[in-house]
Amino acid sequence: MAHHIPGPLYFEQLGATGIPMVFLHSTPDDHRLWMYQTAHFSSWYRTIAIDMAGYGRSPAVQKGVTMEDMAAACWEAVDRVSGDAVIIHGNSMGGSVTQRMWHQHPERVKALVLSGTGFSQATDVFKRWVERYTAEGVALRYEQLFDHFSAAHKSDPILRFYADMVVELNNEGTCASIIAMNEANAHRPPEAFYRAITAPTLIMAGVEDRSYQSSVALSKLIPRAEFQAIEGVAHAPMIETPADYDRHAIAFLKKHGLFPG
């Protein structure tokens, strides 16, 4: 097993055939962040939506966990479905893990689709969440879920229902895992880490996302990156406006000969 992760990660698979398509969520979400995409893309792909350690139904992480540990654990989950090359979607923290997965097995990655993910050496945001979760506990998770949505979507009843579902799976290790993953994500790679990624990469960014400019910066570092802005959404375009997210992802996959539909 991967270091600092005491057990296999939970995942849900839809689709029986096709290229494996992996989905990695942000913090403090779980695999259900991708419920629209797994339902849609399973028409053509074997979708694998993973609960990262400490989130949803996966075992809690141990202190000292790294993003590389999480990437290795995600590969272990993928290997339980297929040893084939994959397409990986990653949002925010999931995007950071996605990039580590490429570095660990570049030969097994056909393409990357990143969102809510950027290049920045600043660590203040991660330290701030560590401090708040340490002081306020797991109840903060519900508030942070809404921090990912644009102002117009914060009152959307479907998104409120989604947030209610996520926090219903809080468990004894959830808060400590969220803290540990924010500490891990505070270790920012150098520019060379991003410049080394050679897979075709789509970077989507909500125009209202605070990390929008860092997403633009990331698109200039990854050699084969393409950038797509999405109006009216913030950090979680796949659930705020799933039709737009899917449309842009499909156009990208078609361009690279990876869409069989």
Task: Write the pLDDT tens digit of every residue in 113-134.
Answer: 999 999 999 999 999 999 999 9
Does 190 score more than 90 pLDDT? yes
Q: How confident is the model at residue 233 (pLDDT cuts 50, 70, 90)?
A: very high
Query: Looking at this protein, which amino acid is placed at residue 146?
Result: F
Residue 135 lies in a domain: yes
Statement: residue 208 has pLDDT above 90? yes
Per-residue model confidence as pLDDT tens digits over 158-167: 999 999 999 9
Residue 3 lies in a domain: no
Would you say residue 150 lies in a domain? yes
If you average pLDDT over residues 15-25, what whole number do you get?
97
Average pLDDT in the chain: 97
Predicted confidence at residue 63, as pLDDT, reads: 87
Q: Domain residues for 234? A: 11-255
Q: How is residue 144 written in tokens? A: 């942070």
Residue 115 lies in a domain: yes
Residue 124 falls inside a structural domain: yes
Structure confidence at residue 58 (pLDDT): 97
The residue written with tokens 């899917």 in the block is 246
Q: Per the structure block, which two tokens stand in for 173? A: 């290790």
Compute and round to an integer the Cα radius of gyration of the chain.
17
Instruction: Output the pLDDT for position 31.
Output: 98
Residue 2 within any structural domain of the chain: no
Mean pLDDT of the 214-219 span: 98
pLDDT at 258: 98
Provide the pLDDT confidence category of residue 257 given band limits of 50, 70 and 90.
very high
CA-CA distance, 38 to 61, in Å (whole number)? 25
In a domain, 261, yes or no: no
Bridging pattern class, strands 11-14 and 46-50: antiparallel
The two beta strands, 86-91 and 46-50, are unpaired
Half-sphere exposure of 148 (CA within 13 A, CB side): 28
Into how many domains does the chain fold? 1
* Nearest in space to 17 (alpha carbons), one of 60, 48, 46, 54: 46
Can you give the pLDDT at residue 1? 81
pLDDT of residue 261: 76
User: b or e along 93-116 (b: 16 or more beta carbons within 10 Å of the residue's beta carbon)?
Assistant: bbbbbbbbbbeeeeebbbbbbbbb
Mean pLDDT of 74-78: 98
Average pLDDT on 137-141 reads 97
- Model pTM score: 0.98
Q: Is residue 28 part of a domain?
A: yes
Q: What is the pLDDT of residue 149?
A: 97
* 76 contact partners, CB below 8 Å, separation of at least 6: 1, 2, 8, 9
Which phi-psi region, left, alpha or beta, contains residue 215 (left: φ > 0; alpha: ψ -120 to 50)? alpha
Nearest CA to 171 out of 94, 73, 57, 49 is that of 57
Q: What CATH number did the domain enclosing 53 receive?
A: 3.40.50.1820
